[in-house]
Structure 1
Amino acid sequence: MTGALGVRVAPSAATIRRVIGLVCPGGLADLTGSCPGDADSVAVDGKAARGSRHGQTPAAHLLAAMTGDGRTVTQPRVPGKTNEITCFADLLKPYDLSGVTVTADAPHTRRDHARYLVEEKNAHYPLVVKNNQPGPHPGLRAPPWKEVTARRYDREVSHGRKETRVTRVLTITGLGLDFPHAVQAVRVPRHRTDLSGH
């Protein structure tokens, strides 16, 4: 861009971000992304690209992989007729994840994802299981949680509530949990008390 005096002026950072976001949401991450091979952990998470919704066209949904120290590895756009789950393996396929711990949110707590991480990528996983997941959740009720001696209590008061979390860790090999390569389970029940008096 040339200014009024004929001097070339570089576009602002906001202009560069806006143009790249309009042309290819997530594309900058693939141009500048870094290999996660030297990282201890990689987090996989999806999000809608801010400002990418136009009229009846929905916002671009991106699936990102980031290292534990905040480096973006890759962030491709999830194709319109698919979802994060179907893109998980392709997202991580190009990278050496040997010895890396890969985290993801509850929708990725699937047997095929666990097998892929351990058997094909030689990685480790802690995956989240929520109450509404019919697959692994019922099996996690059976272990003897009340007998667990490895516990941690966390208490905090904020936003007019007192919250207590009790973290229990249990080795589950030999307990019959039907989930590939699962060795330990962590249970974190939360108890909330409303302090507002309402």
Structure 2
Amino acid sequence: MNIRNSDSLKETLKVYFIMGSPNCKENPARVLEEAIEGGITLFQFREKGIEALTGDKKVELAKELQQICRKHQIPFIVNDDIDLAIELNADGVHIGQEDEPAAEVRNKIGHEKVIGVSVHSYDEAMNALEGGADYFGIGPVFPTKTKADAKPSNGTKLIEELRDKGISIPIVGIGGITAENAGSVIQAGADGVSVITAISHADSVTEAAKSLKRRVFEG
């Protein structure tokens, strides 16, 4: 599945669900199925945190979730683990500032895969763009407890700055986003929102995804 085209990528990023086993109250495969039923448009496998799976068990879960995505034609992206992304022939990877530079990742995964980069400043954004990033993840927009080492929330300031400077690369907001505040992120210039617990910890995963999608498309 090649989603690197800018226009199709903007649509793909609309409702971006990130999840691994530590983020789920029930079976991750079931959570993913329910989230897809609710209308997510992209899935990122992020197996990090307390009691995260490693080794063969991590690969096994990744393969199971990837098969679910393939069945429903949802792009499957891997967080940070470039080797795993290559092994699974994933649709792309998402990297942070502490990971390998985007240019090196591009050389490893080829030119048909998507690279997303977390950026926190204009300079980081420009470096990522030069390195071959396909989209930016910007945040935390709102305070979040999901990522232990998350930087302070900065609202939609950087999203607005990049758009004001004419940067048209697809952008997804991340961090503390819920159905209630998702519209403000889209209004600031983001193409989509990425969430973890707003979907994975919801009483009804499907309804949470539906609600988020509705707010994103309303803008």
Shorter-chain TM-score: what band?
A: 0.3 to 0.5
Q: TM-score, normalised by structure 1?
A: 0.32
Give the TM-score taking structure 2 as reference length: 0.30
Q: Comparing both structures, which one devotes a greater share of its residues to strand?
A: 1
Larger CA Rg, structure 1 vs 2: 1
